[in-house]
Structure 1
Amino acid sequence: MNLWDSSIAQIKEYIKHLSNQRSMRISEQGERYEMLVNIISYLKDDNQKASKSLIRFAERILKVYSHWQEMISNEEKYIESGYELIAGVDEVGRGPLAGPVVSASVILDRNICILGINDSKKLSETQRELLYSEIQKYAISIGVGIIDAEIIDKINILRASLDAMSQAVFALSIQPNLVLVDGQHCPNIALPTKSIIGGDGLSASIASASIIAKVTRDRIMDDFDKIYPQYGFSKNKGYPTPDHLTALRRFGPCKIHRKSFAPVSEIIQQTEITFNL
């Protein structure tokens, strides 16, 4: 694009085009980043109101590009150390009173940039669904591990989370050279691992895994909502919201509730006491 021969309307359309693109080759990402910098510099010499609005628009997109570079820098330093295939691992569902804990493992294509990737908790449902599709389309390999409520009650949530992570890594179609794990604890796997506290906000691979795990678990809970509609699982996803707790006290726990978790265990005890009386 030749800025000197472009109108404000043409520049606006170009920036809008960039804002709609979520995935591209790394080489294209670098070129477009440089173009955005040039556009902002060019528009700053123009005092039109429309130009100031476009500067803000371009700066928002530039921030997204910069965020990708920050997120991928963790992987890049390990690639420079000789690790060719890096998997990011994360889990969701430790805190809910119902449903499984789900983990995902993702090996990203180092030649593809997926803009907008972030900790799944910082994204809206719509953003997660869009990025889920992009990751599924461009990742080299994706693995998912699921541990249900019954097993969680038997072995505790920490062990269940680690087992779900192991399952996710074993489910990959290709073995990674290094596994980056969100949090303090690493699963017991025969591969080099590195734990990163807050990794879902620092590593593109881990953030991608958090998105895959979150969307996968949300869809599972949506399915359970059709079986147990009284608990509102499609809304609360099994977390202890006021409405969920009210339903739990009214109807008691169902098959997918974690019986070892308070207040589920307390409600079970109260029911047993009342029955014995």
Structure 2
Amino acid sequence: MARELKGERLEKELARLEAMKAYEKGYEDYTLICGIDEAGRGPLAGPVTAGAVILPKDCQILYLNDSKKLSEKRREELFLEIKEKAVSWCVGTASPARIDEINILQATYEAMREAIWGLSAVPEILLNDAVQIPKVEIPQVSIIKGDAKSVSIAAASILAKVTRDHMMAEYDEIYPGYGFAKHKGYGTAAHIQALKELGPCPIHRRSFIKNFVAEEAE
């Protein structure tokens, strides 16, 4: 991907990435700095996923940014590059049933803990996107809008987002008619219409769809 940028454009991108390394540079005494972020807290269907990634200190991945600011094609490319260059990475998930059982926030924390505990290397510090994860003894730093400010959190956001998108594409084949591959379970008009016509399927979050299909969700 580096070949796409030259001259001034390349210098500008490198400067942007250097600015995004400010938080990592603030913890230079640590070797294993882990970024944490989630994807899928808001949808009506599907799991919530959480990415955990430890990047090498000298790692350079062009275009790394908040996953929401990237095209699908760019995310897919970065997904592969992050996994290739990372010291360690893992994605945790919490199912729709688990979300209904313990609520979305607690399910998100579970997915984050699963991602952390699935790493092959134990992080020395966690850089989290705007949360403090309970039941984790590793020091944590909560950064508001961290996925746009930290390279580690940005990488984690991409791992979580792309992994979840792939899962929703698979669910689209198992439960056709809802359009999961297109809207990824979010509450679009087309999704809500399909939900009303077809009723909920096994991956719908019952606690999220009560306003649309109250009698079926009970």
> Per the shorter chain, which TM-score range?
over 0.9
TM-score (norm 2): 0.95
SS of alignment partner, residue 250 of structure 1 = helix
Listed as ranges, the gaps of 5+ residues in structure 1 are 1-16, 22-56
Give the equivalent residue in structure 1 for 2:84.
Answer: 137
Q: Counterpart of 1:231 in 2: which secondary structure?
A: coil
Q: Please, which of 21, 24, 27 is the counterpart of residue 75 of structure 1?
A: 24
Contact 2:45 / 2:203 at 8 angstroms: preserved in 1?
yes
- The size of the alignment, in residue pairs, is 218
1:266 aligns with 2:175: no
Using a 3 Å threshold, how does the CA distance of structure 1 residues 104 and 271 change in structure 2: closer, same or farther? Answer: closer
- 162-171 or 180-189: bigger deviation: 180-189
Q: Which secondary structure does the structure 2 equivalent of 1:114 belong to?
A: coil
Q: 1:172 to 1:210 in 2, by over 3 A?
A: same
Contact 1:19 1:61 in 2 (8 A): no
Name stretches of at least 5 consecutive residues in structure 2 with no aligned partner: none
Deviation at 1:59, TM superposition (A): 2.4
Displacement of 1:229: 1.3
Q: Deviations over 1:25-64 (max 9, x none)?
A: xxxxxxxxxxxxxxxxxxxxxxxxxxxxxxxx63222221
1:19 aligns with 2:3: yes
Whether 1:202 and 2:149 are equivalent positions in the alignment is: yes
Percent of paired sites with the same residue = 47
Deviation at 1:213, TM superposition (A): 0.4
**Residues 156 and 191 of structure 1: CA distance in aligned 2, closer, same or farther (over 3 Å):** same
- CA radius of gyration, larger in: 1
Q: Is the 8 A contact 2:200 2:216 kept in 1?
A: no
Q: Does 1:94 align with 2:69?
A: no
CA–CA distance in structure 2, aligned partners of residues 214 and 252 of structure 1 = 26
Question: 1 or 2 for the larger relative contact order (CA 8 Å, sep ≥6)?
Answer: 2
What one-letter code is carried by the residue in structure 2 that aligns with 1:190? E
Deviation at 1:144, TM superposition (A): 1.1
Rate the CA distance shift 1:143–1:186 in 2: closer, same or farther, 3 A.
same
Which structure 1 residue ranges, 4+ long, deviate > 4 Å from structure 2? none
Counterpart of 2:200, as a letter, is P
Q: 1 CA distance for matches of 2:39 and 2:199?
A: 24
